[in-house]
Amino acid sequence: MAKYLTKQRKLLLDFLSEHTDETLSAGQIADALSGKEISTSAIYRNLAALEQEGRLKRSAKPGSQEAYYRFTDDEDCRGHLHLSCLRCGKTVHVEEAATDALAHQLAKNEGFALDRTDTVLYGICADCRK
């Protein structure tokens, strides 16, 4: 049983590591993995476990009830902001210097301490604006 779970988890992790720059809903992940040896309930269970381990970030999209997930195995991603495209779901990693500049500006003008790990800004990416 444990081995079977590990295999399902690996399938999910493989998929997520190929889609690190996308923000996906659990439904989209389940669709993409349909036909593979992983059940929908196993996907949801593993997503919840990965979120608890801090390897997945859950976010809500404006105008949607569904939870979206972004895979953040990357240590580098803790220090900078992320932009998420509402059209294609792509994640843009904001340069650390630009993140610092914005955080500094917000602290100075608003007295606001930005949580750069959890903040995702939504908009339309450069490719989708073409």
Ranges of beta strands (E only) in 17-114 are: 24-25, 56-60, 67-71, 82-85, 91-93
- In sequence order, what are the beta bridge partners of 67? 60
Q: Which of 73, 82, 83, 86 is nearest to 128 (CA)?
A: 86
- Is residue 128 involved in binding Zn ion (CB under 5 A)? yes
- Is residue 85 involved in binding Zn ion (CB under 5 A)? yes
User: How many residues in the shown chain lie near Zn ion by CB under 5 A?
Assistant: 8
Candidates 87, 96, 101, 123; binder of Zn ion (CB under 5 A) is 87
Candidates 60, 88, 101, 121; binder of Zn ion (CB under 5 A) is 88
Q: In angstroms, what is the minimal distance from the CB of 1 to Zn ion?
A: 36
Q: Which amino acid is at 49?
A: A
- Is residue 94 involved in binding Zn ion (CB under 5 A)? no
Candidates 9, 45, 58, 93; binder of Zn ion (CB under 5 A) is 93
Q: In angstroms, what is the minimal distance from the CB of 112 to Zn ion?
A: 21
Q: Which amino acid is at 109?
A: N
- Is residue 78 involved in binding Zn ion (CB under 5 A)? no
Phi, psi of 74 (to 5 degrees): -80, 115
DSSP 98-127: HHHHHHHHHHHHH-----TTT-EEEE--HH
Residues lying near Zn ion in the complex (CB under 5 A)? 77, 85, 87-88, 90, 93, 125, 128
